[in-house]
Amino acid sequence: MTTKEEIRIQELEGKNNPFLVPEGYFENFDERLFDRLPQTQKAKTVRLMPRLLRYAAAVVVVLGVGSALYWNHSQSAFLASNEVTQEEYYNDALDYIMVDNMEIAEYLTEAE
């Protein structure tokens, strides 16, 4: 369905396409475009994070990981030493439980 505007354009221009591009227009288009642009200096790079801040962040990360590993190691060493202590305690308790009354009486008389 054609609109009034399309009919008007067809009356003025006919059925030919009025939007034609000249021959070879896009062959060196980029060169012509860059020739028209004003020549400016090279863009300056702005660092978002200063070098010192990056180093400080790296140190914080290393200290955090190191302290986490050290804490984990010390906790496991503590638990291991605590388990040995508990094992010794259980062995002593079992030895005590297996003592009969006569041995307890002998031990108490020797201690006095």
- For residue 23, give Cα distances in angstroms to 2, 26, 27, 30, 31: 30, 8, 9, 16, 16
pTM of the model: 0.32
12-71 pLDDT per residue, tens: 777 776 677 788 888 888 888 888 887 777 777 777 778 888 888 999 999 999 998 888
56-108 pLDDT per residue, tens: 899 999 999 999 888 887 777 666 666 667 777 777 777 777 777 787 788 78
